Structure 1
Amino acid sequence: MTTAALVLYVLALVVLFGVRSAVQHRRTGSTGFKGISGTPAEPEWWGGVLFVVAMVAGLAGPLMAVLGVTPIDPPAALQAAGLVVALAGFAATLAAQTGMGASWRIGVDSTERTELVTSGPLFGAVRNPIFTAMVTAQAGNVLMVPTWVTVAALTALVAAVQLQVRSAEEPHLLRVHGAAYADYAARTGRFVPGIGRLTRAAAGERAPA
């Protein structure tokens, strides 16, 4: 199962980042990658760095297990459940990326304005379904390969998406889309349905002047 976890993780990286960015470039002229924004003094910079750490550690976990560096012997049922969770997270991430269409980005460009996506089965329920799905997939990776490396990857990813969304993406979307995003944030959860909704007053306070 550790080999399956490694193959699935590599496949996910290729499809979700490599293939997706190639499709994005063909359609829009941009790969969608905006890089790590801010400076080390700003939380969004740490969000970007932690995201990279999470992706690398997520790959290193199953690779180290396959090589015998971190031997594991979890119950087969636990690994099977992890495979189901990881596949579900992978599929949901791909679906959410596709749902964003030309608005899909990795990182934030403060000078750029993209269409606000608020509809569909995923974006109609939560504001950040891609991140939710990625965390789900990483959780599946932990169940398949339960080592300190995969747990560290999941921890780094959760911290990364929290910093990225709260410190970079939400302020940017409030500045660019104003009341439209404030209304959207008031009726949908941040990562899970119903949790993390912003009141109009809170949205106004968080919008950059």
Structure 2
Amino acid sequence: MDNLKVISKYGYSKVAIFAGLFILSLLFGVCEYLFGFLLLLSIFIYRNPERLPAIDDENAVLSPVDGKIEYIKKSIYNSKEYTEIMIKNSLFDSGVLRSIANLKIKEIRAKDGLNLLSNDVNKNLINSRMALVCDISGKEVIVRVNLGFGRKVHFENIKELKAGRRFGFIVSGRVSLFLPTDTRLNVSVGNSIKATELIGFLGDK
């Protein structure tokens, strides 16, 4: 069942902790503004906005997360060439991860890294990351999440997803899409994009 509440279920415990601290601060008259701010910040970080797919097309590829497109380039993944689109999700963007199409998840790959705190794209490639190897209408697409310092990705244990369906959460990081090279893109470097907005269309082959 998709999580439709105002706060993502992955943030329930954090928000509850800060809510408890805020109540205690009111009772004892200590640092009320600080704990009130932390409570509001936790609610903001774990907000769970609704996003509806921008288009109903089996070849459409949607954004998996809110953020800004850092680069688009040809990349090799497992000895195959793809078009890679990297989206940077900041602390101010919603961290809800959503399905980029109607897809089947063939494999989830995890790689431990150093978890460095850096804005450098190349350094972030040695950080911990998770990758979903997906099948969309017979075509292989990879969704890879690169994590920063002390951050964690949450994934649902689901094998099939409808377009726009929530499947996880990150508290900032970078999400890369590895798409077939014949994908027709509708975005450019520097574009700000919301989850479920159109990235492009898979080729007909």
Q: For the superposition of Structure 1 and Structure 2, which TM-score range results when normalised by the shorter chain?
A: under 0.3
> More strand per residue: 1 or 2?
2
The TM-score, its normalising length taken from structure 1, stands at 0.27
> More helix per residue: 1 or 2?
1
